[in-house]
Structure 1
Amino acid sequence: MHYKYLDKTSDILKYIGDMSQVAGIKSYRFLDGKSNGIRAVDFWTGTGLNFTALLDRCLDISQAFYMGKSLCWRSPAREVHPHLFEAQGVGWKDGFFGGLLTTCGLTYLGAPCVDQEEILGLHGKISYVPAENVKITQEWQKSEYILSVEGSMKHVSVFGENLVLIRKLKTWLNKSEILIEDKVENIG
């Protein structure tokens, strides 16, 4: 069946029992090795676009496929739980999975260094911050079936930075695209 020709709710629902046959989001946890416990969500859109977002890793996209072909490079480190993150030096790379989207910052990115007596590790910490207030949406809005996940990641330190990254990943039934919306708030 070619789902791309079915645009209206009533057209699609005539042929299927549940929307997950065509497009959807599945949430789960990794259960093995250094990935054990990581919350993740898999998206599929009915067009051959499938991707995985890691709720416990800044909603970064660790892998993506189109028509069964990978859209990204994957590191042998694979997904590593944020509790195993070593912020000093080059510890960031020990959990760098590659993927389609890996976030750096928020206050620093680049090589490890010391800046005004503060030790800064490779590429900052935000990629290892779990999402809070996670909202997963799978719903019809008029004639579009929308799939999204949203969450906020806090980059905070006592007497230091107080930043919040609010990220939303969004895609649609019958579309092969991902919309990434980021908003950074400086709470002070």
Structure 2
Amino acid sequence: MTPFKLAVAFGALSAASHAMAWDYVLLDTNKPAQNWSITSEQLGLKTDKPFSVSLRTLHGGRQEGVSIVDIDNGTMKLSVVPTRGMNVLQASVGNVRMGWDSPVKEVVNPAFIELNGRGGLGWLEGFNELVTRCGYEWVGHPGIDNGEMLTLHGRAANIPASTVTLHIDEKPPYAISLRGELKEQAFKKVDFSVVTELVTEPGTAHFALNDTLTNNGDYPKEYQALYHSNFSTPFLEQGARFAAPVKQVSPFNDKAKAELADWQTYRGPTKDYDETVYNVVPYADSKGETLTVLHNKAGSLGVSVGFNTQQLPVFSLWKNTDTQGQGYVTGLEPGTSFSYNRRYQRPLNLVPTIAPKASQQFQISYSLLADKGAVDNALKRVSEIQAGRETEVRQAPLVDLTEH
């Protein structure tokens, strides 16, 4: 495919960035999918870190027909799944992987998933990604709300992108932007579109998500969003730690309440552990920016997840330190809401409304912290945002889950 140049408003790591870019349509509802690739060399770019982007299609089993976009920015390798809500399947730098090992080994085509199955937990049959979009009509545990059965964490992760486009900035640092549009629509019920964007720059160990939700309907509509960001070894281990500027923390349920004193530290793989979840309200700086960090016991390797609390005001920490085979993983999850069923979150003022034709942005950044210096710098930033302010530790869950 021959590159052609377009003057486009190109949202790079900063949404305000504008640049000339090479522009490609990778997938569209009116064109067949086909394997494709482009490299910095083919574009005539002489960069310190050569990069490439490719599109491939998976075959066999329940991953039949799934499209994968692989981005190698010269330092970090990323895989994005247009067929599954533009989720980020995995990212790696050398032999260090950001992601986890789910019992779900295939990249499951949503056509083979019944979200209403398993009592509303059918979503779990495809859950294995590094970043899984949850929403946007609702998030949280399955259950009845206003007479309607809501399945686990909404539909977004199982909506194939209608269009996928690639943009490569033709000026240094040659930012790479992959965009996809998700349509969450049902007659009489909802008319949402979500323009997703993943941006990375050649030679960096960093990527960002810039998503825009639009209510195309003629009526105000409730929405929720949660970015289920999942990590395992080598960051997660016995003695690993979570750090954030915390205004308030509370246990999700009674099981989490019993371990509240150790909510920021992790166990090694523990048989029959299952999971615990903590509800976090983070502090932010004057612009609403905040940072969360997961690092290994030695503090020599970690990851950070940054977001804006004006867009995503709360955070869930999911600790699933069960056996390796069961899925040894922790989730760092910024959101508009916690993981309770939607009916429990209205009294918490965590079910926002979006006006007709209005849009809402969600911006999240992910970085590999490759050494102790990088971890220390991230922890220093967390401390700066905390700025000595107190953390309220609530002993009781915010919601009484025994009430129906």
Report TM bin, short chain: 0.7 to 0.9
Q: Trace 1:22-171 onto structure 2 (pairs within 5 A).
A: 22-47=50-75, 49-78=76-105, 79-88=107-116, 89-97=120-128, 99-140=129-170, 142-171=171-200
Q: CA separation in 2, counterparts of 1:148 and 1:37?
A: 23
Residues 17 and 116 (structure 1 numbering): CA distance in 2 closer, same or farther, change over 3 Å? Answer: closer
Matching residue's letter, 1:94: E
Any gaps of 5 or more consecutive residues in structure 1? 1-15
Question: What TM-score does the superposition give when structure 1 sets the normalisation length?
Answer: 0.84
Cα offset for 1:139? 4.2
Q: CA separation in 2, counterparts of 1:50 and 1:149?
A: 14
Cα offset for 1:111? 1.3
Any gaps of 5 or more consecutive residues in structure 2? 1-39, 218-404
Question: Is contact 1:132-1:152 (8 Å) kept?
Answer: yes
Q: Quote the residue 1:180 is aligned against.
A: 209
Q: 3-state DSSP class of the match of 2:83?
A: coil
Cα offset for 1:17? 4.8
RMSD: 1.8
Matching residue's letter, 2:127: F
Matching residue's letter, 2:199: K
Question: Is contact 2:143-2:150 (8 Å) kept?
Answer: yes
Question: What TM-score does the superposition give when structure 2 sets the normalisation length?
Answer: 0.40
Q: CA separation in 2, counterparts of 1:174 and 1:66?
A: 10
Q: Can you list the C-alpha shifts for 1:71-96, whole angstroms capped at 9, x where unaligned?
A: 11131213100111212111000111
Q: Trace 1:7-26 onto structure 2 (pairs within 5 A).
A: 17-18=41-42, 22-26=50-54
What stretches of structure 1 move > 4 A for 4+ residues in a row? none
Matching residue's letter, 1:68: N
Segment drifting more, 68-77 vs 119-128: 68-77
Q: 3-state DSSP class of the match of 2:123?
A: helix
Q: CA separation in 2, counterparts of 1:185 and 1:129?
A: 16
From the CA coordinates, give the structure whose radius of gyration is larger: 2
Question: Is contact 2:41-2:50 (8 Å) kept?
Answer: no
Residues 93 and 17 (structure 1 numbering): CA distance in 2 closer, same or farther, change over 3 Å? Answer: closer
Question: Is contact 1:24-1:138 (8 Å) kept?
Answer: no
